[in-house]
A and B are shown apart, each in its own frame.
Chain A
Amino acid sequence: MSIQYKHIQCTINGRPVDKMVDVRASLTDLLRNDFRLHSVKKGCEVGECGACNVIIDGRCYNSCIYLAVWADGKNIRTLESLLGPNGELSDIQQAFVDEAAVQCGFCTPGFIMTAVEILESGKEYTDDQLRKALSGHLCRCTGYENILRAVKKAMYRRLGKPMPEA
């Protein structure tokens, strides 16, 4: 059988990219294999676990069920884009560190990217709304407890409000 390739142009973590991609490849494959962006994790490859989550034009997607060819013309951000030029952590990364929201770390990049989408909305969410917004991600280590705390903490800090006592 002949493999079909298609030419795409997109932006990945702020860098313009020109690439021939296998039309069968997922965006996960493209990011991991061609760009060595290893924060994009594979946990199920069918859109169930959220470990491969990236931001495309401002919205979160499971990159495992998003074809690489669809990335044409899109602005894609992975966890690697959050770090400052001197290795400084972003507020949400620091919150995950400070709140012990990281254990095995495999679901962490996906969770952080959804948190980025939440924080960039500039809105204040209740706990229930945050739980729902984050529910596309599975984690087996944390019981989600400290992840909620980390996202909440970063949200209130950005909103310039004190975090309400639990």
Chain B
Amino acid sequence: MSKSVGQSKLRVDAYDKVTGRAEYTDDLCAPDALIARIVHSTIAHGMVTGVDTAQAESVPGVVKVLTCFDVPDRPFPTAGHPWSTDPHHQDVADRLLLNRHVRYYGDDVAVVIAENEVAATQAARLVKVTYEEYPFVLDAQEAMGFDGPPIHEERPDNILAHTQIRRGDYETARQEPGLIRVEGWYDTPTVQHCHIENHICYASMEKGRITVVSSTQIPHIIRRVCGQALGIPWGKVRIVKPYIGGGFGNKQDALYEPLCAWLTTQVGGRTVKIDCAREETFVNNRVRHAIRTHIISYVRPDGTLAARKFECFSNQGAYASHGHSIAAKGMGAFPQLYPCDNIEADAYTVYTNRPVAGAMRGYGIPQAMWAGECHLDDIARKLGRDPVEYRRQIVMPQGYTDAFSKNCNYYDTFNQVMDKGMAAIGYEEKRKAYANQTGPIRRGIGMALFWYNTAVWPISLESSSCRMVLNQDGSVQVQTGETEIGQGCDTAYAQMAADAIGIPFEDVHIVSTQDTDVTPFGTGAYASRQTYIGGFSIQQTGQMLKDRILTYAVELTRQTRANLDLVDGQIVRTSDGQVLMSLGELATEALYSLSHSQHLTAESTYQIKNNAYSFGCTFAEVEVDIPLCKVKLLNIVNVHDCGRLINPALAEAQVHGGMSMGIGYGLSEQLLFDPKTGRALNNNLLDYKLSTFMDHPHLQALFVENPEPTSPYGTKALGEPPACSPAPAIRSAILNATGVAVNQTPMTPHVLFRAFREAGLFQEGETAHV
């Protein structure tokens, strides 16, 4: 029986968040903490030849200045991946706490520790760094075989990794007579997560151990990385993760925690705080990989796919971080979403002198869907087919099983989500109405599908641990290693735990803070895994606790174990439904009994060796002002099959946020770099155009609820998927309105002007002034 799951319960943290009582990292930091300011390189590539700290050290309040010549020579990895005990699967360790070889404009060279923020900031400006400058490169394809010193010596061609997929025989298959060839290059930009709380952490020492309190998604992983970076046993590090102001993947990485942990050891264990400025969050944390994708499809006149080729070039920036995993995940979608017997696919991840690219909501899939869905529309157009009707013919069919992940498309999900989206936006009527438009203002309607798979099995470990502790009143504390980062997993966990144990939702007390000293091991929030993965250990642990409770109840009620159940916080005799006692009465007796005292608790780990597809689509309607090259988004609908909804209201809210991010990705967001210096030009929230309240219409979020058979609660990924398909859907609508296929996002007036001009949309003389 299920009571909580499926209901739109109010968030367990809402009261604290609307009253200002929810404590985030900076709220917890002692006022006398020392402040660390980082000195960033002012060149994009080169070697530090000297750092003069004399002037900086003379600033009153400065405690210490440390430089790239002081740090341990111990390269460490930063990616928020579960560690692998197999050396071949370990993340690339390619950076030091501060770096002599600087690899992007803004690299970390030195750090000032001071009594206060003003002294730290002033002194940081007075640190004089001298460099031997090297040529730099900002573009991934240009970086491959770049004629200059390599960005990392171990990789002379700057290629961090290259992987490939081969299926059938592409070269032979494309020779088939009568095939139609469609080719395109599709570009995505460097963008940033823009969580409203910047990354912040502080560290101190107690009894020879280091504690770091951090705005992170992955406390247990951060503990490991700090241990690796400092060369100390991992148990000597304790990470505390309080409420965080958003993450979106940026905080699925060791950012400044290792440096902060080291700094406290340099000042006798005093508390040191690193609080990133917004400008640093943009450049010195992580960004989304800019990926350029090249696709060639050979299609039969009946629309079937004969042979397909895919190449992508992923801009890694200066350090490996999550590295090739992003491009590899994106490429992995290619042979699956539209299966084809003959495929040649290659993904390259390339070091460049840009800021470091890491995880960001969708993990390669927004880039892959941009390329793949734009290309699908290009094929449909060449064949004279409707984008929806054509997709129905070639999309992954029901019953499709991926040989590697063993993921199965159990339902007719794609057709169901498209049917729902079409009906919601009025696709058929609008498609007809918008045919054959002329004039400067035109409307269009379009769509895109997305492919996503939940969690990281079988590429990497998937496991979750949970602890439950029964209180005297029958309420239960629940802890997991998977973190609340705003998405609402604490609330979903409380719902799942209530049902697993058999108690009311209100009697579940979720411990939101993760503290690696006391929280069961779990790798954190990423890969849209929390609800799916957490569900396994919550159900298992809940059943263990329930079993212990009922076993104890046998003593108190004189009934057989098989005749007892725990329902809504009551011990019930199943044969007649009689309530025998409350759980609170049992718990009190169990703790204080003079004959048999027992603290009823349960803790368990569940390793998941399954994964789940999570599919959906976006439909978008636009109005394009051709002379102004401006796009107005009129309507947008996302439809998701994320299995059974644990909490419909929170699911809907999650989709809104992803759609908003996807709209920014399609229309406005891009981190720009000065080609002469490599410096970021718009690393602030004014010049970097993320969506504001004014920038999108009503966001409609719909669901198709096909229960996921492998999940105890029938659920699967929802966190990242909503951001994956809006951009190509908007492009599809612009194509429908104007007949112009735009191959670069964001589709700003600059980009549209070029595309419209090339397509001959402007009359002679109209562009004379430009």
Check A153 for interface membership: any CB of B closer than 8 A.
no
A105: interface (CB < 8 Å)? yes
CB closest chain-A residue, reference B195: A140
B10 is an interface residue with CB less than 8 A from chain A: yes
Verify B14–A106 contact, CB threshold 8 A: no
- For residue A78, CB closer than 8 A to chain B, the reply is yes
B656 touches A89 (CB 8 A): no
| Interface contact A109-B685, CB-CB below 8 Å | no
Q: Nearest Cβ distance between residue B632 and chain A, in whole angstroms?
A: 13
Q: Chain A at the B interface: mostly helix, strand, loop or mixed?
A: loop
Q: Which residues of B contact A146 (CB under 8 A)?
A: 653, 656
Q: Which residue of B lies closest to A78 (CB)?
A: B20
Q: What total of A-B pairs shows CB separation below 8 Å? A: 168
Contact among A33, A49, A89, A104 for B685, CB-based, below 8 A: A49
Which of B60, B193, B196 contacts A138 (CB under 8 A)? B196
- Whether A43 lies near B18 (C-beta < 8 A) is no
Q: How many positions in chain A have a CB within 8 Å of any CB in the partner chain?
A: 54
Stretch of A69-77, A93-101, A117-125, A157-165 with 4 or more beta carbons under 8 angstroms from chain B = A93-101
Find the A residue at minimum CB distance from B650. A100
- Which of A80, A93, A100, A138 is in CB contact (< 8 Å) with B11? A100
Asked if A137 is at the interface (CB within 8 A of a chain B CB), the reply is yes
Do A97 and B18 touch across chains, with their CB atoms under 8 A apart?
Answer: yes
B17 and A108 contact, CB distance less than 8 A:
yes
- Which B residues are CB-close (under 8 A) to A98? 10
**B660 and A46 form a contact (CB under 8 A):** no
Residue of A24, A78, A98 most packed against chain B (CB within 10 A): A98
Q: CB < 8 Å: which of A1, A37, A97, A137 contacts B10? A: A97
Q: Are A104 and B686 in contact (CB under 8 A)?
A: no
Q: Which of A33, A38, A43, A142 contacts B20 (CB 8 A)?
A: A38
Does B694 make an interface contact (CB < 8 A)? yes
Instruction: Enumerate chain A residues within 8 angstroms of B15, measured Cβ to Cβ.
Output: 89, 97
Set B196, B244, B684, B690: member contacting A46, Cβ < 8 A: B684
Q: Does any Cβ of B come within 8 Å of A60's Cβ? A: no
**When the two chains form their complex, are residues B19 and A80 in contact, meaning their CB atoms are under 8 A apart?**
yes
Contacts of B488 in A (CB 8 A): 103
**Contact call A138/B690, Cβ cutoff below 8 A:** yes
- In whole Å, how far is B114's beta carbon from the nearest beta carbon of chain A? 14
Residues of A within 8 A of B8 (CB): 100
Contacting chain A: which of B24-32, B445-453, B463-471, B556-564?
B24-32
* A20 on interface, CB distance cutoff 8 Å: no
User: Does residue B568 face the partner (Cβ distance < 8 Å to A)?
Assistant: no
A132 within 8 A of B: yes
Check if A105 sits within 8 Å of B277, measured CB to CB. Answer: no
Name B648's closest neighbour in chain A (CB-CB): A100
Q: A46-B278, A103-B487 are in contact. Are A143 and B659 (CB under 8 A)?
A: yes
3 nearest A-B residue pairs (beta carbon): A39-B20, A104-B486, A106-B245
| B residues with CB within 8 A of A | 8, 10-11, 13-20, 22-24, 26-27, 31, 60, 118, 193-198, 243-246, 248, 277-278, 485-488, 649-650, 652-654, 656-661, 684-686, 690-694, 696, 698-699
Supplied contacts A97-B14, A132-B693, A140-B195, 18 more A-B pairs, CB within 8 Å: A38-B23, A43-B278, A46-B686, A49-B196, A49-B278, A83-B19, A93-B18, A100-B10, A100-B652, A102-B17, A104-B245, A105-B243, A105-B486, A131-B693, A131-B694, A140-B194, A140-B690, A148-B693
